[in-house]
Chains A and B, each alone.
Chain A
Amino acid sequence: MNRRHLYIALAGFCFVTLLALAWSAPDLPSTIDRSQRSLKPWEYWPLGTDMNGRPLIEYASQGARVIAIPSFLAGILVAFFGMMGGLLRCVEWPTIQTMVQFIGEIVGALPRMVVILVVALLLPTEWRSLMPLAVVWAILCAPGAIDEAGAVAARLGGTRFVEALKAHGFGAWRIYMHHIVVLNLRPVLVRQGAEAMMTVAFLEVALSYLAVVEDQSSFTHSDNLRSWADLLKEGYLWLALGIDSGHVLFVGLGLLGLVVLTATALGKAAEAR
């Protein structure tokens, strides 16, 4: 097993853990049971309880459910945009290239966080979900992904590289999808996608934290679900008040660490060798 296989295994394990958490999430939080309040993980397996006696695993799983699909979709979208940018650099379609560059410059100039906040505020209550924000984030990330993948394709030789492969007798599908995308753009596409995935997870936590501290409804999920931001807020609060419940903050940070680890391992696993 070489280092690449190790990263693939690590990324797979982290990702499956996130999906398993999301899949096992209950639709509603458990009832309050103050007799079980503030239990440590070794007292209440696996993650302990909050100050109302609810298991922290519910926070972890419901947070994962909020994040999993939208962040994965954002990653796929960014990788797709990057792939299109890279492929465009290898074909001679000057009109489309100019249009993409023009749109990319406009989208790239937008302040991302402001756009996300505006979209979050404008979304009707019944549409409240992370999905539209994840899609908007992916679109905002697209110009960067297109530029980077385009630069890699240009370093390959662009149309000259394609011509050389045609001269070797390869068909169009094999040239574009295998030789260009899989063999050469893969590291940059997977890294861009993984970064977008991680950023969307952080975005959810940041927006939920904003709502939690302002005591408002979340922008990203319905009120019957808990977010990882609840863990961070509660953990920080307890720590600030000197209550011995550091494990809550630890669980919250650990979940964010899991997302970072997934993204990093995915990026490393996709490197050429």
Chain B
Amino acid sequence: MSQLIELRDLWIATHQRDLVKGIDVDIFPEQVTALCGPSGSGKSLTARAMMSVLDVAPGLRGGHLRYPTIDSKKDWFADVVGKGMSGQMRLLKQTRHLRGHFITYSPQSASSALNPGRTIGRQMELAIARRPNPPTSLSKEIVRILGQVGLDRASVAALPGELSGGMCQRAALAIAIAPNPDLVIADEPETGLDPVLRRAVIELLVSVVRQNGAGLVLISHHEDTVDRIADAVVRLKPQVMEAK
């Protein structure tokens, strides 16, 4: 089975310290890979590096990133390492077509994932439009996906502010899976939810992603969640501040 992402020797630093160093990650389809570690260990940063979204100065000091199903040879970091912000901006532009289609992202808080000025239905429409073959009936598809995550038809016309926290998380998840991505990156999707809802949202996420045949990168610092659902675990440790 070909990897979706092959990340080797990732090294990202600020002027003061290393943020992540020596990280290797392989992501496979239909598998749940957990990025696990305490706060500040670079979980979100590693996930962002997988999506080629980096905005740290000087940033990428080393590493190789491949999307083997897109291009088995190409190292996307090759022209970016050591080039600072300009290189990272270039990478952002080069890989824009992959995000929202090949990879989708569900950020830490649903409020950041959802646009408060747009209805859930309209946001779903935009996400579905990223598919190479859009469905014939858009409205039916929106209702189907919302149903998959346990939201009813009424949510289509709702603004994010009109939904509860749990419903927003579900809507964010629906938007993340709507483009039929090969890989979903979920950044601590359980943040801000009570324990019962947390378990329900995670299980929903895993089941929906598996149903769609996609890979899932789950960022979490809940060891019990990771042990329960992950097929592979990447553990990160906080980098220590170097003495000058």
Contacts and interface: CB of A to CB of B under 8 A. Distances in A.
Interface of A: 92, 155-157, 160-161, 163-164, 166-171, 179, 183-184, 186, 272-273
A272 B159 CA distance: 10
Nearest to A160: B112
B109 A160 contact: yes
A169 B92 contact: no
A167 B53 contact: yes
Give 8 nearest A-B pairs by CB, closest first. Answer: A169-B100, A183-B117, A167-B105, A169-B99, A157-B112, A168-B100, A164-B107, A184-B117
Interface in B124-146: 127, 130
B112 A161 contact: yes
B104 interface: yes
8 contacts: A156-B111, A157-B109, A160-B107, A167-B107, A168-B99, A169-B101, A179-B117, A183-B118
B135 to A, nearest CB: 19
A155 B100 CA distance: 24
Contacts of A163: 48, 53, 55, 107, 112
B51 interface: yes
A246 to B, nearest CB: 46
A268 to B, nearest CB: 16
Q: Which of B99, B108, B112, B159 has the most CB of A within 10 A?
A: B112
Given A163-B53, A184-B117, A170 B100 contact: yes
B112 A168 contact: no
A260 B231 CA distance: 63
Interface of B: 48, 51, 53, 55, 92-93, 96-101, 103-105, 107-109, 111-113, 115-118, 127, 130, 159, 185
Contacts of A171: 93, 96
B109 A166 contact: no
A227 to B, nearest CB: 40
A82 to B, nearest CB: 15
Interface of B is mostly: loop
B198 to A, nearest CB: 20
Contacts of A184: 115-117
Q: Is the interface of A mostly helix, strand, loop or mixed?
A: helix
Nearest to A179: B115
Nearest to B111: A157
Given A163-B48, A164-B105, A164-B107, A169 B118 contact: no
A166 B53 contact: yes
Contacts of A161: 112
A170 B127 CA distance: 11
Nearest to B47: A167
Contacts of B130: 169
Given A167-B51, A168-B127, 13 more contacts: A155-B116, A157-B112, A160-B107, A163-B53, A164-B105, A164-B113, A168-B100, A168-B104, A169-B98, A170-B100, A171-B96, A179-B115, A183-B117
Contacts of B105: 164, 167-168
A135 to B, nearest CB: 30
A272 B116 CA distance: 9
A162 to B, nearest CB: 9
Nearest to B98: A169
A161 B118 CA distance: 14
A167 B130 CA distance: 13
A179 B122 CA distance: 12
B103 to A, nearest CB: 8
Nearest to B185: A167
A156 B116 contact: yes
B107 A169 contact: no
Contacts of B104: 167-168
